[in-house]
Amino acid sequence: MDVGQVHWLGHASFRVDDKGKTIYIDPWKLPDNPPKADIILITHSHYDHFSVDDIAKVRTAKTVVVCTEDVAEQLAGKVKIVAPGQTIDVEGVNVSTVASYNLAKDFHPKSNRWVGYIVKLSDATTVYHAGDTDFTPEMRTVKADIALLPCGGTYTMDAKEAAQAANTFRPKLLIPMHFGDIVGSVKDAEAVKSLHTGDTLIKKPER
């Protein structure tokens, strides 16, 4: 497991480098001339996760975009539509989806069928990007080496819930996200680290 392969680009945006393949998850506020994408994973259609402008910065004619149906309606080209509870092959990369939704607030309804992703890398490391979610029943059964969990509260889990989730499904490493832009601060990430009984890595955004 090489955590250096996982680059936090701020908020919920990540780039994962895997032996010649470049995978973006929810690219947003990317710098100019970022590395081009082989695969782009979009969790849902909110502007801070589905950014047409940022997708255009990294997309080529060969790039495959994996997304929910509401996002796919707004894109042309190589697009794979997913819903919760699926496993697909994307350019030789194993990608599974996990339901991503709010339990007691209305920002991310379960009925929208939005997703988080578990990506299996070439060394068998699994990376789980939870999307915008609370600590759902589906998350209890997640198996992942690296978990990218929101912690900023308001629209997603807060720090306490994120730590509780990680303490339940026990990834080898937790990387907090969804703070420092729109909602939340590094204090939320630090609170996650103090409450999580496993390993937590607080990354600085690469922008």
Q: Which domains does the chain have, with CATH numbers?
A: 3-195 (3.60.15.10)
Instruction: Check whether 22 has a pLDDT greater than 80.
Output: yes
Instruction: Check whether 197 has a pLDDT greater than 80.
Output: yes
> Which pLDDT belongs to residue 8?
97
Per residue in 108-131, pLDDT (tens digit) is: 999 899 999 999 999 999 999 999
Q: How far apart are CA 188 and CA 171, in angstroms?
A: 19
Chain mean position to CA 127: 9
Angle (deg, nearest 10), helices 159-169 and 186-195: 40
Question: CB–CB of 147/171 below 8 Å?
Answer: yes
In the block, residue with structure tokens 């393949």: 21
Reading across the β-sheet that carries 6-8, which strands appear in turn? 6-8, 14-18, 21-25, 39-41, 64-67, 79-81
Top-confidence residue, 106 or 124: 124
- The mean predicted confidence, pLDDT, of the chain is 95
Instruction: Check whether 154 has a pLDDT greater than 90.
Output: no
Question: CB–CB of 169/148 below 8 Å?
Answer: no
Question: CB–CB of 181/155 below 8 Å?
Answer: no
Q: How far apart are CA 38 and CA 44, in angstroms?
A: 19
> Which pLDDT belongs to residue 134?
96
Q: How far apart are CA 29 and CA 120, in angstroms?
A: 25
Q: How far apart are CA 114 and CA 17, in angstroms?
A: 24
Instruction: Check whether 1 has a pLDDT greater than 80.
Output: no
Task: Tell me the mean pLDDT in the region 145-164.
Answer: 94
